[in-house]
């Protein structure tokens, strides 16, 4: 059974004003448990609006959002439950930190869930492990940490609620390559360890290719494509038309193929390196 | 709630009101505000409301937006009206039962107060709806420039105001963002008693303060980089000029004030001593 279903979701901004605009239109989507879906699209394609519907921060003007079999707008309690079932981590989440210590900040979500202290404690420590925060850091003020560490604290704050679906909006934005790698590895490990569902909003085709099992392409408020990484990235022409691009390494391999050296199709640098090495070995 | 605060917002359009010189608009707004408190009877009050309505229509700002700016003050209006009804004495007693005394003066004062506060908000929001923040502060700076004689740093104060106005929408967006982020972590902002609600604001206020301070530093650096020193010697790219329309509008305002004075005189005061 799919853990997350969107059925005909439409959202209008400035409803009733002359500036009324359809932010997203008739979105139908079904995500199975354990999938890691990358959501890509141009700025203003409706990615962030879509995301805010998943845990009931925005209410769809038409359509339903079903999480774990329950319509999140079914009753008042359902919305609040959806907040915990779907953990939403916004862009630049480090700006939401407010507590005196890292520990307290991570504990904010679980405490709001009304959990007991020892359960909160367990979850905070587990979340800190997932994002790779050492124990010494937990007693520090979050404002004394580096940018990358702050980001990981904020993500831990969402993970600590142990949501069924984790949604991350541009978790790697503004980080250096090493920080980016850390976050992506962390997402991968987290999903494998918890078998939970993860949605990753990004405009980096490389990032999505590295971790996602499926890709959702948004364009002008609509779903343009939804399929496996291979299926979607095979349509490089259409992607280019809506202002997106396949990863650089894929392009290099495409050009090599057109010049007569067919090494297969790749989306990540690691895979490319592996293919090249294999080819080298075979020639020997 | 925070989205409803429209004071300081600009509505982009081309209307006769938009084209007026900012200095003139500030002066006219001040005159209008004074006229609001000159009204002594329903005739002059009616004229004042009609004139305010005329300005709104002339400005092409949608009525819906103007009404929206009244939303946050609705409670204040209702509250002061109620206080007036129950506490103002004098005039014909209408109800005299145990501790409740309602008089005609009370009812009239309440009505007048409500209309006055509403008009006050409408007229002052018209100023910001039709004038960009930069124009507004430029106008203020010009109008206050005589104060330089008393060593008051008018230019610096004007720049501070420009920046403050400039950052209202930014901070509103920021509050929205932080609120959503904390809601996503299960922060409960809508339920609970007063103390619980105030406590629930901490996760929003703290990040807001931190980011405001960060923005302030960044802005200061950016201004330094562009060699901003403020004060004397700073010239403007757009010079302000009075046009014929500015004087026409001043004339219309004068006729309006005359109308109010005449109506006040003709129909007498509503409130009885």
Going along chain A from its start, the domains and CATH numbers come out as: 2-229 (3.40.50.300)
* Chain A contact for B186 (CB, 8 A cutoff): yes
Residues in B touching A96 (Cβ below 8 Å): 178, 181-182, 185, 203, 207
Check if the beta carbon of residue A8 is closer than 8 Å to that of residue A64.
yes
DSSP state of B227: T
Q: Which tops the pLDDT comparison, B190 or B80? A: B80
Confidence of residue A249 (pLDDT cuts 50, 70, 90): confident
Q: How many CB atoms lie within 10 A of CB A250?
A: 22
Asked if pLDDT for residue B71 goes beyond 60, the answer is yes
Confidence check: pLDDT of A151 > 50: yes
Report the distance separating Cα A165 and Cα A197, nearest Å: 5
- Residue A85 touches chain B, beta carbons under 8 Å: no
H/E stretch holding A83 reads helix A76-85
Q: Given this model, what pLDDT does residue B208 score?
A: 93
From the CA of B222, how many Å to the nearest CA of chain A?
A: 20
In angstroms, rounded to a whole number, what is the distance separating the alpha carbons of residues B1 and B5? 7
Tokens of B270: 């509503």
CA distance A88 to B185: 8
SS3 content of chain A, % helix, strand, coil (to 5): 45, 25, 30
Q: Looking at A212-226, B33-47, B84-98, which range is the least confident one?
A: B84-98
Nearest to B185 among A18, A80, A158 (CB): A158
For B109, counting Cβ atoms within 10 Å of its Cβ (0-12 exposed, 13-18 middle, 19+ buried), the class is buried
CB-based contacts of A224, cutoff 8 Å, min separation 6: A41, A217, A218, A238, A242
Using DSSP, state whether A166 is helix, strand or coil. Answer: strand
Say whether A88 and B62 touch across the interface (CB within 8 A). no
| pLDDT score, position B217 | 95
What is the pairing mode between strands B93-97 and B100-103?
A: antiparallel
* Residue A61 clears pLDDT 60, i.e. is over it: yes
Provide, as residue numbers in chain A, all residues whose Cβ is less than 8 Å from the Cβ of B188. Answer: 80, 112
Query: Comparing C-alpha atoms, which of B138, B191, B162, B182 is closest to residue B25?
Result: B138
Q: Is A253 on the interface with B (CB under 8 A)?
A: no
Residue A167 CA to residue B181 CA, distance in Å, equals 12
Give A-chain residues touching B182 at CB under 8 angstroms: 96, 108
Residues of B in contact with A72 (CB under 8 A): none
Q: Higher-confidence residue: B8 or B99?
A: B99
The alpha carbon of B12 is separated from its chain's Cα centroid by a whole number of angstroms, namely 18
Nearest CA distance, A82 vs chain B (angstrom): 9
Q: What are residue A113's phi and psi, to 5 degrees?
A: -75, -10
A109 vs A127: CA distance, rounded Å: 12
- A71-110 residues labelled b (16+ CB within 10 A) or e (exposed): ebbeeeeebbbbbbbbbbbbbbbbbbbbbeebbbbbbbbb
CB-based contact B210 A143, cutoff 8 Å: yes
Å from A276 to nearest chain B CA? Answer: 44
A193/B contact by beta carbon, under 8 A:
no
Tell me the C-alpha distance between A179 and A23, whole Å.
Answer: 32
A98–B contact, CB cutoff 8 A: yes
Is B68 an 8 Å CB contact of chain A? no
Strand partners, A4: A31, A67
Identify the closest residue of chain B to A157 by CA–CA distance.
B185
Q: Of the candidates A87, A96, A109, which has its C-beta nearest B207's C-beta?
A: A96
What pLDDT is attached to residue A247? Answer: 82
Mean pLDDT of chain A: 89
Nearest to A161 among B185, B206, B207 (CB): B185
Residue A139 has pLDDT above 50, yes or no: yes
Structure-token pair, residue B36: 């609001």
For A58, which residue in chain B has the nearest alpha carbon? Answer: B180
Nearest to B185 among A18, A52, A157 (CB): A157
Mean per-residue pLDDT of chain B: 86
Tokens of A178: 């090493």
Contacts of B211 in chain A (CB under 8 A): 95
Closest B-chain CA to A80? B186
Torsional class of A68: left (φ above 0), alpha (ψ -120 to 50), beta (otherwise): left
Is B93 strand, coil or helix?
strand
DSSP 8-class letter at B91: S
- Chain A residues inside the 8 Å CB shell of B202: 98
Percentages helix, strand, coil for chain B (3-state, rounded to 5) are 75, 5, 25
What percent of chain B has pLDDT above 90? 33
Q: Is A62 on the interface with B (CB under 8 A)?
A: no
Q: How many CB pairs under 8 A join A and B?
A: 61
Q: According to the model, what pLDDT value does residue A42 have?
A: 85
Residue A159: closest C-alpha in chain B: B185
Distance of CA A263 to the CA centre of its chain: 30
How far apart CA A48 and CA A62 sit, in angstroms, is 18
pLDDT of B1:
42
At residue B178 the predicted structure's pLDDT band, cuts being 50, 70 and 90, is very high
| Cα–Cα distance measured from residue A103 to residue A126, given in angstroms and rounded to the nearest whole number | 11
E strand spans, chain A: 2-13, 21-32, 36-41, 62-67, 70-71, 86-89, 165-169, 197-202, 214-219, 222-228
Assess A83–B contact: CB distance below 8 Å, yes or no.
yes
Instruction: Measure A90 CA to nearest chain B CA, in Å.
Output: 6
Beta strands in A194-270 (DSSP E): 197-202, 214-219, 222-228
> What separation in angstroms does the CA of A220 have from each of A50, A187, A223, A224, A240?
12, 28, 8, 9, 14
Q: What is the pLDDT of residues A62-79, one digit of tens each?
A: 999 999 888 999 888 888
d(CA B32, CA B35) in angstroms, rounded, equals 5
Q: Does B230 score more than 80 pLDDT?
A: no
Cβ(A113)–Cβ(A82) below 8 Å: no
Residue from the list B64, B187, B202 with its beta carbon closest to the beta carbon of A17: B64
Per-residue pLDDT at B273: 59
Question: What is the nearest CA distance from B187 to chain A, expressed in angstroms?
Answer: 6
Cβ separation A98–B183 shorter than 8 A: no
Question: Distance (Å, rounded) from C-alpha A143 to C-alpha B7?
Answer: 33
CA distance B225 to A82: 47
Distance from CA of B247 to the nearest CA of A (A): 33
Model confidence pLDDT, tens digit, residues B1-30: 455 555 557 888 888 889 899 999 999 999
Note whether A18 contacts B62, CB cutoff 8 Å: yes
When pLDDT is averaged across residues B100-117 and rounded to a whole number, the result is 87
Range in A1-15, B54-68, B229-243 the model is least confident about: B229-243
Has the ipTM of the complex gone over 0.90? no
A162 CB neighbours in chain B (<8 A) are none
Closest-CA distance, B183 to chain A, in angstroms, reads 8
pLDDT at A184 over 70: yes
Asked whether the predicted pLDDT for residue B107 surpasses 60, the reply is yes
User: Is the pLDDT confidence value at A268 over 70?
Assistant: yes
pLDDT tens track for B145-156: 888 888 888 888
The pLDDT confidence band at residue A223, using thresholds 50, 70 and 90, is very high
CB-CB under 8 Å, A95 with B211:
yes
Residue among A126, A117, A49, A56 at smallest CA distance from A84: A56
């Amino acid at each position: 059974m799919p853990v997350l279903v969107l059925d005909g979701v439409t959202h209008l901004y400035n409803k009733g004003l002359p500036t009324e605009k359809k932010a997203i239109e008739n979105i139908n989507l079904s995500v199975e448990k354990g999938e890691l879906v990358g959501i890509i699209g141009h700025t203003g394609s409706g990615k962030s609006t879509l995301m805010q519907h998943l845990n009931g921060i925005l209410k769809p003007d038409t359509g339903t959002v079903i999480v774990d079999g329950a319509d999140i707008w079914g009753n008042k309690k359902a919305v609040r439950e959806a907040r915990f079932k779907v953990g939403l981590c916004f862009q630049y989440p480090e700006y939401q930190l407010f507590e005196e210590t890292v520990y307290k900040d991570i504990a904010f979500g679980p405490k709001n869930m009304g959990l007991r202290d020892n359960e909160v404690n367990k979850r905070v420590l587990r979340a800190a492990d997932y994002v790779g925060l050492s124990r010494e850091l937990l007693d520090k003020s979050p404002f004394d940490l580096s940018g990358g560490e702050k980001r990981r604290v904020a993500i831990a704050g969402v993970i600590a609620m142990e949501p069924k679906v984790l949604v991350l909006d541009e978790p790697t934005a503004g980080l250096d390559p090493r920080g980016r790698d850390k976050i992506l590895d962390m997402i991968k490990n987290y999903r494998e360890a918890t078998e939970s569902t993860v949605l990753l909003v990004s405009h980096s085709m490389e990032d999505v290719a590295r971790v996602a099992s499926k890709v959702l392409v948004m364009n002008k408020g609509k779903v343009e494509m939804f399929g496996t990484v291979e299926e979607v990235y095979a349509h490089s022409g259409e992607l280019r038309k809506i202002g997106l691009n396949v990863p650089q390494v894929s392009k290099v391999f495409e050009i090599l193929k057109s010049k007569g050296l067919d090494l297969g199709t790749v989306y990540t640098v690691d895979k490319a390196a592996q293919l090249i090495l294999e080819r080298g070995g075979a020639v020997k | 709630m925070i989205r409803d605060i429209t004071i300081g917002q600009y509505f982009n359009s081309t209307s006769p009101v938009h084209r007026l010189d900012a200095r003139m608009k500030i002066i006219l707004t001040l005159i209008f505000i004074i006229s609001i408190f000159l009204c002594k009877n329903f005739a002059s009050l009616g004229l004042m409301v009609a004139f305010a309505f005329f300005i709104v229509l002339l400005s092409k700002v949608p009525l819906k937006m103007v009404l929206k700016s009244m939303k946050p003050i609705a409670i204040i209006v209702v509250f002061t009206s109620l206080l007036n009804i129950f506490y103002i004495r004098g005039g014909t007693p209408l109800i005299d039962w145990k501790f409740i005394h309602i008089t005609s003066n009370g009812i009239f004062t309440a009505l007048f107060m409500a209309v006055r506060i509403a008009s006050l908000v409408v007229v002052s929001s018209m100023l910001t709806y039709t004038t960009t923040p930069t124009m507004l502060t430029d106008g203020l700076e010009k109008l206050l420039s005589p104060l330089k004689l008393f060593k008051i740093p008018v230019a610096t104060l004007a720049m501070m105001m420009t920046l403050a106005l400039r950052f209202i929408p930014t901070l509103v967006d920021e509050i929205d963002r932080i609120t959503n982020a904390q809601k996503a972590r299960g922060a409960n902002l809508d339920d609970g008693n007063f103390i619980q609600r105030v406590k629930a604001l901490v996760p929003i206020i703290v990040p807001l303060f931190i980011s405001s301070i960060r923005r302030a530093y960044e802005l200061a650096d950016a201004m330094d980089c562009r060699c901003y020193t403020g004060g004397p010697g700073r010239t403007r790219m757009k010079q302000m000029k009075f046009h014929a329309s500015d004087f026409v509008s001043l004339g219309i305002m004068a006729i309006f004030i005359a109308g109010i004075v005449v109506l006040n005189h003709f129909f007498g005061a509503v409130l009885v001593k």
